[in-house]
């Protein structure tokens, strides 16, 4: 039902912040990796906040309603996200409010917004299209991620008359499309190039954001050391290996770590993993979980020239 657009998912545990003030978009433009200065009312964007070294610190879904900008971030990040944003206000005319307690997020795939919706975020073309050509490191996405996020008053969730799907269904479609999630597939040293987020989240011709130099240096002069890969796991057991499990090659050498895992309704057990750049995509790999091992084949997400 979720994949066909007839159901929605309760994502009410996600962080919701509201930024108001006449200078909200120019201010956010200085902080985010994406171009947002001229975003129209009702427009949305996907952006990152990076460390000075270019590592991903926050994954931000942004929607502007013409008067306020709504930011959606990972669960449990409200305090750290608010602290960072407030430290960067300086003399700008902006007000930041944590709306997580009274606003909730619903997720959908090509679905119609529920009637109580305040704003709608749409996944960018680099994620929604299989062959968008917008990311130099993702020549072909394994599947489309035509996702929407609906922000609605939290009290309206109890009145929803639409069909609801579980979080596992949402995660299954995300993983199958090779879309990484902060804290699951994106660790503290991830570069956006490594996880296929250049096309979706990073505007390569804007400056003035923290980590810009590292992004440009890797694009122009270097090669990211790791890459996001979709793994098809051996389905002979119902147990999925835990996130963080070592991934080894045929010689027993550790080449990466396991990220999100799921039982997909068509593909069976699949996972995302961060692997060393030089790992051949044709190699069979082994996921190690203590004494238990699971054989895995690879499907490319990020391809590093």
**262 is written with which tokens?**
């799921």
pLDDT for residue 300 is more than 90: yes
Q: What is the mean pLDDT of the chain?
A: 95
| Whether residue 41 is found in the same domain as residue 132 | yes
Residue 305 pLDDT grade (very low, low, confident, very high; cuts 50, 70, 90): confident
pLDDT for residue 252 is more than 70: yes
Residue 160 pLDDT grade (very low, low, confident, very high; cuts 50, 70, 90): low
Once rounded to an integer, what is the mean pLDDT over residues 114-121?
92
| Whether residue 82 is found in the same domain as residue 176 | yes
Residue 245 pLDDT grade (very low, low, confident, very high; cuts 50, 70, 90): very high
Once rounded to an integer, what is the mean pLDDT over residues 147-173?
88
* Residue 258: CATH number of its domain: 2.40.30.110
Which pLDDT does position 50 carry in this prediction?
98
Which pLDDT does position 207 carry in this prediction?
83
| Whether residue 151 is found in the same domain as residue 292 | no
Residue written as token pair 């030089």? 278
| Whether residue 120 is found in the same domain as residue 267 | no
Distance of alpha carbon 255 from its chain centroid, rounded? Answer: 23
Once rounded to an integer, what is the mean pLDDT over residues 226-231?
99
Query: What is the DSSP annotation of the chain?
Result: -TTTTSEEEE-TTSEEEEEESTTHHHHHHHHSSS--TTPPTT-EEEEEEE-TTS-EEEEEEEEE-SSEEEEEE-TT-HHHHHHHHHHT-TT---EEEE-TTTEEEEEEESPPPPTT-SEEEE--HHHHSTT----TT-SS-SS---EEEEEEEGGGGGG--SEEE-HHHHHHHHHHTT---BTTTB-TT--GGGGT-HHHH--TT---STTHHHHHHHHHT---SEEEEEEEE--SSSPPPPTT-EEE-TTS-EEEEEEEEEEETTTEEEEEEEEETT--TTS-EEEEETTEEEEEEEEESS---
Instruction: Give the sheet arrangement for strand 56-64, strand by strand.
Output: 44-50, 56-64, 68-73, 15-20, 95-98
Residue 159 pLDDT grade (very low, low, confident, very high; cuts 50, 70, 90): low
Determine the Cα–Cα distance for residues 141 and 175; give it in Å rounded to an integer.
11
* Residue 127: CATH number of its domain: 3.30.1360.120
Which pLDDT does position 161 carry in this prediction?
60
| Whether residue 171 is found in the same domain as residue 28 | yes
| Whether residue 152 is found in the same domain as residue 61 | yes
Please report whether residue 213 resides in a domain: no
| Whether residue 17 is found in the same domain as residue 162 | yes
Which pLDDT does position 162 carry in this prediction?
75
Please report whether residue 53 resides in a domain: yes
Please report whether residue 203 resides in a domain: no
From first CA to last CA, the distance across the chain in angstroms is 38
**Boundary of a domain, candidates 175, 193, 211:** 193
| Whether residue 305 is found in the same domain as residue 248 | yes
Determine the Cα–Cα distance for residues 146 and 174; give it in Å rounded to an integer.
10
Supply the Cα-derived Rg of the chain in whole angstroms: 19
Residue 236 pLDDT grade (very low, low, confident, very high; cuts 50, 70, 90): confident
| Whether residue 33 is found in the same domain as residue 102 | yes
Q: Domain containing 262: what range? A: 225-305
Please report whether residue 220 resides in a domain: no
Task: Check: CB of residue 173 under 8 Å from CB of residue 109.
Answer: yes
pLDDT for residue 240 is more than 70: yes
Task: Check: CB of residue 118 under 8 Å from CB of residue 102.
Answer: no
**Boundary of a domain, candidates 193, 216, 246:** 193
What confidence tens digit (pLDDT) does each residue in 43-72 have?
A: 999 999 999 999 999 999 999 999 999 999
Instruction: Give the sheet arrangement for strand 103-109, strand by strand.
Output: 119-122, 147-153, 103-109, 7-10, 163-165
Which pLDDT does position 109 carry in this prediction?
96
| Whether residue 80 is found in the same domain as residue 171 | yes
Once rounded to an integer, what is the mean pLDDT over residues 90-105?
97
Tally of domains in the chain: 2
Please report whether residue 206 resides in a domain: no
| Whether residue 36 is found in the same domain as residue 159 | yes
Once rounded to an integer, what is the mean pLDDT over residues 273-283?
98
Q: Report pTM.
A: 0.96
Which pLDDT does position 87 carry in this prediction?
97
Residue 147 pLDDT grade (very low, low, confident, very high; cuts 50, 70, 90): very high
Determine the Cα–Cα distance for residues 285 and 67; give it in Å rounded to an integer.
51
Please report whether residue 265 resides in a domain: yes
**Boundary of a domain, candidates 173, 193, 213:** 193
pLDDT for residue 114 is more than 90: no
Which pLDDT does position 296 carry in this prediction?
98
Task: Check: CB of residue 21 under 8 Å from CB of residue 97.
Answer: no
pLDDT for residue 11 is more than 90: yes
Task: Check: CB of residue 82 under 8 Å from CB of residue 98.
Answer: yes
- In sequence order, what are the beta bridge partners of 236? none
Please report whether residue 104 resides in a domain: yes
| Whether residue 231 is found in the same domain as residue 103 | no
Once rounded to an integer, what is the mean pLDDT over residues 73-91?
97
Q: What percent of the chain has pLDDT over 70?
A: 99
Please report whether residue 60 resides in a domain: yes
């Amino acid at each position: 039902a979720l994949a066909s657009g007839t159901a929605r998912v309760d994502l009410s545990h996600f962080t919701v912040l509201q930024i108001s003030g006449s200078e909200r978009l120019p201010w956010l433009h200085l902080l985010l990796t994406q171009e947002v200065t001229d975003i129209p009312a009702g427009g949305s964007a996907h952006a990152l906040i990076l460390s000075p070294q270019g590592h991903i610190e926050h994954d931000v879904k942004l929607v502007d309603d013409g008067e306020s900008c709504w930011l959606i971030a990972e669960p449990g990040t409200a305090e750290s996200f608010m602290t960072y944003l407030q430290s960067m206000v300086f003399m700008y005319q902006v007000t930041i409010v944590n709306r997580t307690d009274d606003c909730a997020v619903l997720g959908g795939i090509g679905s119609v917004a529920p009637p109580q919706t305040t704003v709608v975020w749409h996944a960018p073309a680099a994620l929604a299209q299989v062959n968008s050509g917008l990311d130099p490191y993702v020549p072909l996405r394994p599947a489309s991620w035509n996702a929407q996020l609906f922000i609605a008053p939290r009290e309206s969730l109890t009145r929803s008359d639409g069909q609801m799907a579980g979080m596992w269904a949402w995660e299954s479609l995300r993983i199958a499309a090779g879309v990484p999630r902060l804290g699951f597939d994106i660790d503290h040293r991830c570069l956006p190039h490594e996880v296929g987020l250049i096309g979706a989240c990073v505007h390569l011709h804007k400056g003035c954001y923290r980590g810009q130099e590292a992004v440009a240096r890797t694009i122009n002069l270097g090669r990211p050391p790791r890459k996001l890969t979709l793994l098809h796991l051996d389905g002979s057991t119902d147990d999925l290996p835990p996130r963080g499990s070592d991934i080894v090659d045929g010689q027993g050498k550790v080449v990466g770590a396991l990220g999100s895992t799921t039982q997909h309704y068509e593909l069976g057990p699949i996972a995302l993993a961060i692997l060393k750049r030089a790992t051949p995509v044709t190699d069979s790999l082994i996921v190690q979980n203590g004494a238990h091992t699971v054989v895995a084949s690879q499907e490319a997400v990020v391809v590093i020239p």
